[in-house]
């Protein structure tokens, strides 16, 4: 009888201690916004036990954003930094020593060129620079806005071969074999930097965070309650009262959208956006936006640009060939197309 009582007491004590175990500390949602990187707004959202813990993570993210922003900037130079701006001016003369993160970006850009069969080409800077200048002039003086002459674009297109970007990984140098070549990482740089930062945070054990770097959204895990992060896909029709076409819920994925509503200018009654087709050297009007869901923000950035310039059939085939990748296309008349698994992410309020 004593053995039975002792056994019952042991069981009660065991479960009593288990029941009194300290509960997991509650996490609070914190948000911080920056306006200094990649010429856009960046928002960090995370769940932490304290403001101090969140601020510590944000300090790290801010330092890394500054690092990548300065390295990948094609319009400005920075003291003590050899960046893409410097390369476009100096690498035609001789190999230029650069930070490893430029080498890694350029290698990734070449991989994306192969993946998209040339539809995302970071060597198109000579063409994109012409469009950039005309767009800037047109927005400044819209009454005299013009379209670049085709002969100028065709001449620039002769200097867009990625094979002329010579990467020496061992010596960490880059050389342009074509002196008229210019690099533009606008279609990939921001997404690639976002992914690198996300991977660094994951290696540190960071969870329950999302990075929104100018619309390049990369989630680390899910929200603290286990629910997916909810993000809206903007309506390309900026005159509509409907801000978002739909919302999606996801975790451990990146969401990137490329659209004609982001950067553009008008020539008469026609709008010319910033996504230039490598074949026609002009913006395409097949779609007004393309959204990509995939685990890697850099790949999402490259695919959104490529699928904007591909036909629906070509883009669909490309997306369906990549594991854990989905896409949504929007036509000018508002028609929406989904890849085979996209709709499972749609959030119903």
Q: Which pLDDT band, with edges at 50, 70 and 90, does 308 fall under? A: very high
Average pLDDT over residues 310-330: 98
Q: Which pLDDT band, with edges at 50, 70 and 90, does 318 fall under? A: very high
Question: What domains, with CATH codes, occur in the chain?
Answer: 30-74+186-264+284-345 (3.10.520.10), 84-176 (1.10.3980.10)
Please report the DSSP string for 233-276 in residue order: EEPS-TTSS--EEEEEEESS-EEEEEETTSSEEEETTEEEES-B
- Helices 150-157, 125-140: inter-axial angle, 10-degree rounding: 150
- pLDDT, one tens digit per residue, over 173-215 is 999 999 999 999 999 999 999 999 999 999 999 999 999 999 9
Contact of 222 with 251, CB cutoff 8 Å: yes
Which of 8-17, 44-53, 119-128 bottoms out in mean pLDDT, i.e. has the lowest? Answer: 8-17
């Amino acid at each position: 009888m004593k053995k039975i009582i002792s056994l019952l007491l042991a069981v009660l004590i065991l479960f009593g201690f288990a029941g009194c175990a300290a509960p997991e500390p509650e996490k609070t949602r914190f948000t911080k916004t920056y306006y200094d990187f990649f010429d856009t707004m960046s928002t960090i959202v995370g769940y932490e036990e304290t403001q101090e813990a969140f601020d510590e993570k944000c300090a790290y993210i801010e330092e890394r954003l500054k690092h990548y922003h300065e390295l990948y900037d094609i319009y400005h130079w920075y003291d003590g930094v050899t960046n893409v701006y410097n390369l476009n001016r100096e690498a035609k003369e001789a190999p230029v020593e650069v930070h490893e993160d430029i080498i890694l970006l350029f290698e990734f850009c070449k991989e994306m060129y192969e993946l998209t069969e040339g539809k995302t080409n970071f060597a198109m800077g000579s063409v994109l620079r012409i469009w950039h200048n005309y767009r800037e002039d047109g927005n400044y003086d819209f009454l005299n806005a013009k379209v670049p002459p085709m002969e100028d674009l065709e001449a620039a297109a002769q200097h867009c071969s990625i094979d002329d970007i010579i990467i020496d990984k061992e010596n960490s140098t880059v050389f342009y074999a074509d002196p008229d070549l210019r690099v533009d990482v606008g279609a990939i740089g921001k997404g690639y930097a976002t992914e690198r930062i996300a991977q660094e945070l994951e290696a540190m054990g960071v969870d329950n965070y999302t990075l929104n770097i100018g619309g390049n959204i990369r989630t680390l895990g899910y929200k603290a309650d286990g629910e997916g992060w909810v993000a809206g896909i903007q309506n390309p029709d900026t005159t509509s009262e409907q801000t978002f076409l739909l919302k999606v819920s996801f975790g451990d994925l990146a969401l990137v959208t490329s659209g004609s509503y982001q950067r553009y200018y008008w020539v008469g009654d026609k709008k010319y956006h910033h996504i230039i087709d490598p074949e026609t050297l002009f913006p395409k009007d097949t779609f007004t936006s393309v959204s990509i869901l995939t685990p890697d923000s850099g790949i999402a950035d490259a695919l959104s640009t490529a699928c904007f310039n591909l036909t629906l059939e070509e883009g669909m085939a490309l997306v369906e060939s990549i594991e854990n990748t989905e896409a949504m296309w929007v036509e000018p008349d508002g028609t929406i197309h989904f890849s085979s698994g996209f709709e499972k992410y749609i959030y119903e309020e």
